[in-house]
A and B are shown apart, each in its own frame.
Chain A
Amino acid sequence: MVGAGLVVIGVGLGIGRIGGSAMDAIARQPEAYGKIQTAMLIVAALIEGIGFAALFAV
């Protein structure tokens, strides 16, 4: 149970970082918005998968 909570914290931090970095990247290169968004979504989904795996293991 505690482990699942820790994993969720980790996943939250991870996705937050991805989102933040994507925002930075978009601010630097607004013309690459589409590509950055795609990459961001994929990576976020990958991390999210781990989070769900942990939640369902409880």
Chain B
Amino acid sequence: MRSPFTIKVLFILSLLFSCTLFASAKEEASEGSTKDLKTEIKEYIAHHLLDSHDFSITSYTNDEGKHVYIGVPLPVILWDNGLQVFSSSQFHHGETLAESGGNYYKLYHSKIYRTDANGTISYDEEQHPTNVKPLDFSITKNVVMIMITGLLMFWLFTSLARSYAKNGGVPTGAGRFFEPIVLYIRDDIARPNIGEKHYRKYMPFLLTIFFFIWFLNMFGLTPLGINVTGNIAITFALALLTFLITNFTGTKDYWKHLFDPLGDGMPWYGKIPIYIILVPIELLGLIIKPFSLLIRLYANMQAGHIVLMSLIGLMFLFKSWIGSPLSFFLAFAISLIEILVALLQAYIFTMLSALYFGFASEEHDHGHEHEEEAVLKHL
């Protein structure tokens, strides 16, 4: 039994090593230019964190001093006086203008601007471009990754469901790995937080969001350099879903708790001065809860990527033999931590979502005394 396990561990380790090496190979590519090394590393990291209009794997400067990019161009879809669809290969990674429907477009810091035929970009005092930004519905790198993850999850879980149906509920293959996770979400996240009565209703969402975030986080650690969950728009959408579900499934007691937390135990004239302070705070809490969800996921993934890339950047800053092994082992250690963080953030997002759903579906028909009794029993 020992040897297959060792092989698996070795395989995973070698995968990780290749990640780090791959990323470092990418960095070497841009070393040839004359720019200050520190700013260059900073720019490289900033660029890596952004979404982009092509799926670039690596780039290098060839013998003739020309940048060669290896990657896949993605479709650009713009709404600018009508639909404009063209391939992002027309931009040549920001080096040339793209022309579509009589308009010219230029890539500037991964954003598309409309320019004249010469590609002029005018700036305001703060160095922000003042050119028109057409509405961008492009299938960017992040969108592609979301689609791939969606399809992967769809394929994985439908095939798992089929294998369960075929084998009479006995897990086989990947099911052996995923069943404990699904059960953990059901028995240790949904049930205790939402309650025995309502948890089934929320299970599909909780499972989807858990695996979606987890898979995307894990994809973020591959050398493809995708940073989907580190994009604030995506975490915003995820948190918005939690927010909408919380409030649309909220029971009468949930809303009563929000606007009339003291209940009937107090005359109305006593409540007014308290509620002037209390209700705005409760309403603010309504927004803060999903907001903290979105900031937490975004910041964690973003910070993880920045740290990892900075440690790889050390290799170029040290300029001595100690740089490479130091950067290598630090990046390796951080990669291991990031694997944990990828799971942890998915878990926490799911856990807190379940907690908020629990607030929304609580029922106070027994009154507070019973609740206290239950709490005491629990202790």
Contacts and interface: CB of A to CB of B under 8 A. Distances in A.
Contact of B292 (A34, A38, A41, A46): A46
Interface residues of A, number: 12
The secondary structure that dominates the A interface is helix
B292 A49 contact: yes
Interface string A25-58: 0000000001000100110011011001101100
Nearest to A42: B351
B340 to A, nearest CB: 11
B300 A52 contact: yes
Contacts of A56: 295, 299, 302
B344 A52 contact: no
Interface in B288-313: 292, 295-296, 299-300, 302-303
Interface size class of chain B, counting residues whose CB lies under 8 Å from the partner chain: 10 to 19
Contacts of B295: 49, 52-53, 56
Nearest to A51: B299
Interface in B318-374: 344, 347-348, 351-352
The secondary structure that dominates the B interface is helix
Contacts of A53: 295, 299
B116 interface: no
Contact of A45 (B188, B296, B302, B303): B296
Contacts of B188: 34, 38
A45 B299 contact: no
B299 A41 contact: no
Contacts of B299: 49, 52-53, 55-56
Nearest to B299: A52
B303 A42 contact: no
A49 B352 contact: no
A48 B296 contact: yes
Closest 9 CB pairs of A and B: A52-B299, A49-B296, A45-B348, A49-B292, A53-B295, A49-B295, A56-B299, A45-B296, A42-B351
B230 to A, nearest CB: 12
Given A41-B347, A45-B352, A49-B292, 4 more contacts: A41-B348, A48-B300, A52-B300, A56-B302
B296 A42 contact: no
Contacts of A41: 344, 347-348, 351
Contacts of A46: 292
Nearest to B306: A55
A40 B302 CA distance: 23
A28 B351 CA distance: 25
B351 A52 contact: no
Contacts of B292: 46, 49
Nearest to B300: A52
A37 B251 CA distance: 30
Residue picked from B296, B300, B344, B347, most chain A C-beta under 10 Å: B296
13 contacts: A34-B188, A38-B188, A41-B347, A42-B348, A42-B351, A42-B352, A45-B296, A49-B296, A49-B299, A52-B295, A52-B300, A56-B299, A56-B302
Contacts of B352: 42, 45
A41 B189 CA distance: 13
